[in-house]
Chains A and B, each alone.
Chain A
Amino acid sequence: MKYATYNYSIRVDFLRPVHSHFFLLRCTPSHNAAQHVVREKCRVDGARLTRGKDSFGNLVHSGAWVTAHDSFEVQTSGEVQLMNEYRLPDAAPNRLYLYPSAYTQPDKKMTQLLKTAAIEKADAPTVVVEKLCALVRREMDYAANSTTNATTAAAALAEGRGVCQDFAHLLIAWARLAGVPARYAVGFIEGEGNTHAWVEFYDANGWRGVDPTHNRFIDTGYIKLAHGRDYEDCSIERGVFAGAAEQKLTVNLSVGMRDYFLGWGNGN
């Protein structure tokens, strides 16, 4: 078990003041079998926030800032206990996660490459995902800033490079084609300056985590903020406003982890 703390801020500076600014945030972890949220806080100076859950079960904050402002900052922090195993029990997967979504629409190249993954009918979901991860690693190079938020799995594959979002989309697209329910997950890990994306796949009574960017199955160390069909469902910060669009974005993230022991009684 690990004990994690996070401090995350997104700051937007506008060249000229904007107004009628409405936004929706997914930047706070919620409880699940793999993470226990000890405390969390989310605020935007100048705006009042309301909390709720979206239809995927993610914790969302919505807010409005109607008057003119030339900067906007989301500040969120918290402490989370992470279990030793990344496993989210679910008696039956939502079958939606077997169907292509906007970012994971397969193309010809994807279906052809899938045949080279040597997946056998008898392969367990974990084995299928392992083979697909290897395929992603074979076809893709990691290159910072090589793609944008709008890049689809097919487009990233055509380029042969991308970032964690693209690695996750491609693995999801292939997993779904291979008949393994898979969904996009986003959150915090240690040692990165921004949020990270990974994949959850369904394997006998629950969801397990796999990180194609780091080529590993997940045990612990991942704080999840949201999951959904793909990037589109998991926007950390989504907003619309009136005014000039020129803006500067500054993101700060610090994540601390330490091992966490249970079992020492009082007085020790």
Chain B
Amino acid sequence: METLIDQRDAVNQWLARYGVRFGVYKGGVFHEQLFPFDPVPRVIPAAEWRFLEKGLTQRARALNEFLLDIYSAKRIVRDGVIAEEFIYAAKGYLPQCENIIPTGKVYNHISGIDLVQANDGAWVVLEDNLRIPSGASYPIIARTVTRKVSPATFEHHEIADNRNYPALLQLMLDHFNVGNGLTVIFTPGRYNSAFFEHSFLAEKTGATLAFAGDLVVEDDTVFYKGLFNERQRVGAIYRRVADEFLDPLAFDRHSLLGVPNLMRAYAKGNVAVINAPGNGIADDKGIGYFVPKMIEYYLAEKPLLPNAPTYLPFYPDDRKYVLANLAKLVVKDVAEAGGYGVLFGRDLDATQLDDLARLIAAEPRRWIAQEVIEFRDLEVLTSDGDGRGKRKADLRAFVLYGDEVKVWKSGLTRYAFHPHSYVVNSSQGGGFKDTWVEKEE
């Protein structure tokens, strides 16, 4: 481990050379930033991982059942488990996806579930991210580079190799591929914050990296247009383009990033779209609250992983509590993601708290409130003091739903930029760590 720490500059130089970066928009201008890497890994013991694996698998299965139900019979609404407001008034619910059953009945092929570990060691889920979760490439590259720079570290530690992610991904994509066609990774292009990852995963899985103009739909079938305009049938699209831009004839008509009539080909079962369009309903922060209930409802199991303690001001009892305790809660706008629309009550003055209370009272469904979780600090290397510091960190675990559900034995550990900050999203500064899962004895 010490060698690894001593070699941190070498590691960062390698990462810069690999081009490990993500894009951010600041004041409407696109910048590409290096994603700072901290060499001290997060280590998860084998037994703890076994539990996480079970809990994450359970969650992914229940969420898939939910999506299947919501875009068809809506039993969970009819049975009164979830109020209909949380479906029909949610931005992520897309009526255009009603009654389209994806191949293999899977919606959330790739979930990027965000968790934190509380001070008492309990893992708590923050978000499920079933749309286009990014970040799997960073730990793979970090592992590749650290193994190169400090091979001895990996002789002394029994750690599950995480460089198998592209192989797991490829296996899953092949499983859903329709008609033995081409598999493509469909990117919005180089101005997307995760473009680096799209090209990396395409290279590693042998998939073709496709841009908007490369894909055409004819006879409700998707084709990849080659260099000389030749057509190749596409069987699976791992798309990294958001739902609203996916097909200008079904969703946002001004989208230049989409594939016109892709939804027709998808509705007819002629192509697998990964993840399925419409998954945004499960990512709605208001719906996250109901995941433990979904586990009981669809799987008849006890939920293994709890949610962060959440209140929905939509319900009068919760609203009363939230308005009375605003100063100690964290309040989130349900339709926002990426660390935007998050307000910590303790950071607000009396006027701001009053304003927020008014907003909540006026539009209760738009907000959720959560207790601030005192989550565990992880050690990071700093450039000041004794060179060691503590930061809040989360873990994004990747769950692949193919022939069976598999949890990748690693994940993206992100830490906050500032010592006392709780916001770890890469779009808000901060860096990442490798996640080591210890091998079974």
Pick from A56-64, A123-131, A199-207 the stretch touching chain B.
A56-64
Q: How far is B93's CA from A99's CA once the two chains are assembled, in angstroms?
A: 12
Q: How far is B261's CA from A239's CA once the two chains are assembled, in angstroms?
A: 10
- CB contacts (< 8 Å) of A22 on chain B: these are 216-217, 249, 260-261
- CB contacts (< 8 Å) of B217 on chain A: these are 22, 62, 64
Bitwise interface map of B from 247 to 269 toward A, beta carbon under 8 Å scored 1, else 0: 01110010000001100100110
Question: Contacting B88 at CB < 8 Å: which of A24, A54, A66, A95?
Answer: A95
- CB contacts (< 8 Å) of A48 on chain B: these are 218-219
Of chain B, the residue at the smallest CB distance from A60 is B264
Q: Does A55 contact B (CB under 8 A)?
A: yes
Is B267 touching A99 in the complex (CB atoms < 8 A)? Answer: no
Bitwise interface map of A from 54 to 91 toward B, beta carbon under 8 Å scored 1, else 0: 11100010101010000000000000000000000000
Is B216 touching A55 in the complex (CB atoms < 8 A)? Answer: no
Cβ distance A49 to chain B, nearest Cβ, rounded Å: 9
Question: Contacting A50 at CB < 8 Å: which of B84, B250, B264?
Answer: B264
Number of chain B residues close to chain A: CB under 8 A: 24
Q: How far is B88's CA from A98's CA once the two chains are assembled, in angstroms?
A: 9
Is B249 touching A23 in the complex (CB atoms < 8 A)? Answer: yes
Q: How far is B89's CA from A50's CA once the two chains are assembled, in angstroms?
A: 33
Q: How far is B95's CA from A22's CA once the two chains are assembled, in angstroms?
A: 22
Is B249 touching A55 in the complex (CB atoms < 8 A)? Answer: no
- CB contacts (< 8 Å) of B378 on chain A: these are none
- CB contacts (< 8 Å) of A60 on chain B: these are 264
Q: Which of B213-235 contact A (CB under 8 A)?
A: 213, 216-220
Q: How far is B220's CA from A23's CA once the two chains are assembled, in angstroms?
A: 12
- CB contacts (< 8 Å) of A258 on chain B: these are none
Q: Which of B249-307 contact A (CB under 8 A)?
A: 249-250, 253, 260-261, 264, 267-268
- CB contacts (< 8 Å) of B98 on chain A: these are 55-56
Q: How far is B94's CA from A229's CA once the two chains are assembled, in angstroms?
A: 12
Query: Which of A233, A238, A240 is most buried by chain B, counting CB atoms within 10 A of its CB?
Result: A240
Is A96 touching B249 in the complex (CB atoms < 8 A)? Answer: no
Bitwise interface map of B from 42 to 73 toward A, beta carbon under 8 Å scored 1, else 0: 00000000000000000000000000000000
Q: Which of B191-224 contact A (CB under 8 A)?
A: 213, 216-220
From known contacts A24-B261, A240-B248, infer whether A99 and B253 are also in contact, taking CB-CB under 8 Å: no
Cβ distance A232 to chain B, nearest Cβ, rounded Å: 8
Of chain A, the residue at the smallest CB distance from B74 is A95
Q: Does B97 contact A (CB under 8 A)?
A: yes
Of chain A, the residue at the smallest CB distance from B71 is A55
- CB contacts (< 8 Å) of A148 on chain B: these are none
- CB contacts (< 8 Å) of B260 on chain A: these are 22-24, 64, 239-240
Is B261 touching A52 in the complex (CB atoms < 8 A)? Answer: no
Cβ distance B165 to chain A, nearest Cβ, rounded Å: 34
Is B249 touching A240 in the complex (CB atoms < 8 A)? Answer: yes
The A interface, classified by DSSP as helix, strand, loop or mixed, is strand
Q: How far is B100's CA from A131's CA once the two chains are assembled, in angstroms?
A: 38
Q: How far is B425's CA from A185's CA once the two chains are assembled, in angstroms?
A: 44
Q: Does A20 contact B (CB under 8 A)?
A: yes
Q: Does B99 contact A (CB under 8 A)?
A: yes
Is B218 touching A96 in the complex (CB atoms < 8 A)? Answer: no
Q: Which of B416-434 contact A (CB under 8 A)?
A: none
From known contacts A24-B261, A52-B268, infer whether A64 and B248 are also in contact, taking CB-CB under 8 Å: no
Bitwise interface map of A from 229 to 260 toward B, beta carbon under 8 Å scored 1, else 0: 10001000011100000000000000000000
- CB contacts (< 8 Å) of A50 on chain B: these are 219-220, 264
Of chain A, the residue at the smallest CB distance from B97 is A55
Q: Does B7 contact A (CB under 8 A)?
A: no
Question: Contacting B249 at CB < 8 Å: which of A95, A228, A233, A239?
Answer: A239
Q: How far is B88's CA from A238's CA once the two chains are assembled, in angstroms?
A: 25
Q: Does B119 contact A (CB under 8 A)?
A: no
- CB contacts (< 8 Å) of B88 on chain A: these are 95-96, 98-99
Of chain B, the residue at the smallest CB distance from A242 is B213
Of chain A, the residue at the smallest CB distance from B93 is A96
Is B264 touching A24 in the complex (CB atoms < 8 A)? Answer: yes
Of chain A, the residue at the smallest CB distance from B251 is A232
Q: Does B3 contact A (CB under 8 A)?
A: no
Is A238 touching B253 in the complex (CB atoms < 8 A)? Answer: yes
Extra 13 A-B pairs, beta carbons < 8 Å, given A64-B217, A239-B249: A23-B249, A48-B218, A50-B220, A55-B95, A55-B98, A56-B95, A64-B216, A66-B218, A96-B88, A96-B95, A233-B95, A238-B253, A240-B253
15 contacts between A and B (CB under 8 A): A22-B216, A22-B260, A23-B249, A48-B219, A50-B219, A52-B264, A55-B95, A62-B261, A64-B217, A96-B88, A96-B95, A98-B88, A99-B88, A240-B249, A240-B253
